[in-house]
Amino acid sequence: MAADPYPPIGDYALIGDCHSVALVSRAGSIDWCCMPRFDSGSSFGRLLDWEKGGFCSIGPTEPEEPPLREYLEGTLVLTTTFRAREGEALLHDCFTMRRGGADRPRNQLLRIVEGRQGRVELRVRIAPRFDYGDVKPWIRHHGPRHFSAVGGDDALVFSGDIDFEPVDDHDLEATFVVRPGERLRLSIVSAAPERIDPEPPDPPAAEELDHRLDETVKWWRRWSGRGRLDSPDGPGALRSAIVLKALTNASTGAVVAAATTSLPEVVGGGRNWDYRYSWIRDSQFTVRSLGELGFEAEADGFRRFIERSTAGSAENLQIVYGVGGERRLVEVEVGGLEGFRKSAPVRAGNAAADQVQFDAYGEILDLTWRWHSRGSSPDDDFWRFLLSIVDTAAERWPEPDRGIWETRGRPQHFVHSKVMCWVALDRGLRLAEDCLRKAPARRWRRVRDEIREAVETKGYDKRRGVFVQSFGSKDLDAALLLLPEFEFVDYEDERMVRTADAIAEDLDDNGLLRRYRSDDSLDGEEGAFVACSFWLAECMARQGRLEAGRDVFDRAMSTSNDLGLFSEEYDTRRGELLGNFPQGLTHLSHIAAATALVEESSRRAGLSP
């Protein structure tokens, strides 16, 4: 049987420019890249089909030792050190970043090889495949070291100082040698086909490409230098913030849930979803986590995106939007791709956009309340929209929904969803009072009290003294750990302490948490959901159980790869990352848990004699 060609998910590094992203393997191959937007069809995509997807690889012809890699401190510039039989070379990978108004391409992927010791022979292969591998582009030669690839409505322009030769009409290849102090450069720019027909613009000189690398390093360090968390956990939290910045669309403020589509929650199964879109529920985590580290502009940008995308009427509210605020995210299966490690189908779009999930009501109101508390109160138009949201929550809370986990089986009366309806009413009342707005306060208070009574009776297991996943159920759900974050119950309330302990025991997966025990509507058993472990760590820290919280936090931290990147899930038996990668919600939850440990340690130390 042929060996599995797919590297583990954890072998990949992220680079991006707040518009596009790419995943670079440990061996120096770009196996996933979507340009000009996160949700564009892939230009390099062998992550989802090793034979058809396309790639751009750079590596030594005679490697001696496994490559070493790291991000330059405070940046998203990746360096990979190749150790070959006769020497050592360094590969810099990044999307170039620019200060506002710079006259240059927005989507430029830059790869620079630098000789360090001895003599290193390297081979470059560029195999672009557009639209998820469906289109083999037309390669055109425009002059010395200047090529383009065109297919359909996609185009890439390749330039630099590497002497390429066309291969099989659709690929480019080159072999070259670097010695100490020598550099060779490859620029890959996304372009509209009509902008390069018949000829693309003249390519930048080598000195200009070196300048763009230096400028990108400075850009990231200038941005990351605004962050603050005075703790040994600070550098890791800052790395998570950098990842989240890369997953933020600079034009709109949207934060995509992940950089990829269809990386499996179960290898060989069908739990493969497209996460390159922006979910409302992430808004609350984004504003809280990035705001706590000092990145107020990014937090405010996402708030504004959510307001723009959702405003209108409650009946038109969606739980997820495209990065430009698009509403139609039709889910399709991309035919002809085998999927990561034969995990089909590969999907583009997400049918969750059509689901009913009542937690969105509470997320929007809580988000608005938080920003009102910071001095940004809703105007008249947005208040009318908020009124419709609260009224809808008051009317529809008794109905079942799909819940935070977007289940594809039958709707249920999820406790988390009911609590978020309570949040919508509670924050609506607070806003009406603080902002002197007219609202049906008496009715809202009555419904808010009804929801609380329902949750504390039907959503509570009296025998165990814990909250449960859904009305009448005995099952637990890691989303219950969020109840005190939304002030439905105090962190140190005995019911919450028991619930946290029960979740830690019942949903344990070798020291990590599953989000729930089963979902009969889907095949296979998924891995531990890493964000949930960070939720538990935060909950325990806020309860004053700092040592237990630290243990959970450290176990969750162990699931990152060597670069500090987290996936959606983790297979505790194989020790492998699962699901879309890197996952924004995991990084957001990591920041929140790290902040909780710092704040609670300081607060409780201050109370000590």
pLDDT band at 608 (very low <50, low <70, confident <90, very high): very low
Eight-state DSSP code of residue 398: T
Residue 259 CA, distance from chain mean position: 6
* pLDDT for position 104: 58
Neighbouring CB atoms inside 10 A of 381's CB total 9
Q: What is the pLDDT of residues 553-562, one digit of tens each?
A: 999 999 999 9
Average of per-residue pLDDT across 24-53: 97
Residue 464 has pLDDT above 80, yes or no: yes
- Following CA atoms 145, 151, 152, 156 in sequence, which dihedral angle do they give, to the nearest 10 degrees? -30
* pLDDT for position 407: 86
Whether residue 39 contacts residue 31, with contact meaning beta carbons closer than 8 Å, is answered with no
* pLDDT for position 606: 75
Whether residue 256 contacts residue 323, with contact meaning beta carbons closer than 8 Å, is answered with yes
Whole-angstrom distance, CA of residue 585 vs CA of residue 594: 14
Tokens of 351: 């049918």
Neighbouring CB atoms inside 10 A of 214's CB total 10
Write the single-letter amino acid at 498.
Answer: R
Q: What is the pLDDT of residues 258-289, one digit of tens each?
A: 999 999 999 998 889 999 999 988 877 888 89
Whether residue 119 contacts residue 87, with contact meaning beta carbons closer than 8 Å, is answered with yes
Residue 1 has pLDDT above 60, yes or no: no
* pLDDT for position 519: 57
User: For strand 512-513 and strand 508-509, is the pairing parallel, antiparallel, or unpaired?
Assistant: antiparallel
Least confident of 187-196, 311-320, 541-550: 311-320
Residue 172 CA, distance from chain mean position: 32
Average of per-residue pLDDT across 447-459: 98
Q: Which of 43-57, 315-329, 363-377, 402-416 has the highest mean pLDDT?
A: 43-57
* pLDDT for position 471: 97
Could you name the CATH architecture of 14-224? Distorted Sandwich (2.70)
Average of per-residue pLDDT across 216-230: 94
Residues of the chain with CATH 2.70.98: 14-224
Q: What is the pLDDT of residues 290-322, one digit of tens each?
A: 888 999 888 888 888 888 888 777 887 889 999
Residues of the chain with CATH 1.50.10.10: 234-607
Q: Is 0.85 topped by the overall pTM?
A: yes
Least confident of 396-410, 446-460, 554-568, 579-593: 396-410
Q: Which residue has the tokens 């991309």?
A: 334
Average of per-residue pLDDT across 366-370: 92
Least confident of 24-38, 171-185, 193-207: 193-207
Cβ-Cβ contacts under 8 Å for 581 (sequence gap 6 or more):
9, 12, 23, 258, 259, 260, 263, 565, 566, 567, 568
Instruction: Tell the CATH topology of 234-607.
Output: Glycosyltransferase (1.50.10)
* pLDDT for position 523: 59
Average of per-residue pLDDT across 142-171: 92
* pLDDT for position 103: 57
pLDDT band at 105 (very low <50, low <70, confident <90, very high): low
Whole-angstrom distance, CA of residue 161 vs CA of residue 169: 21
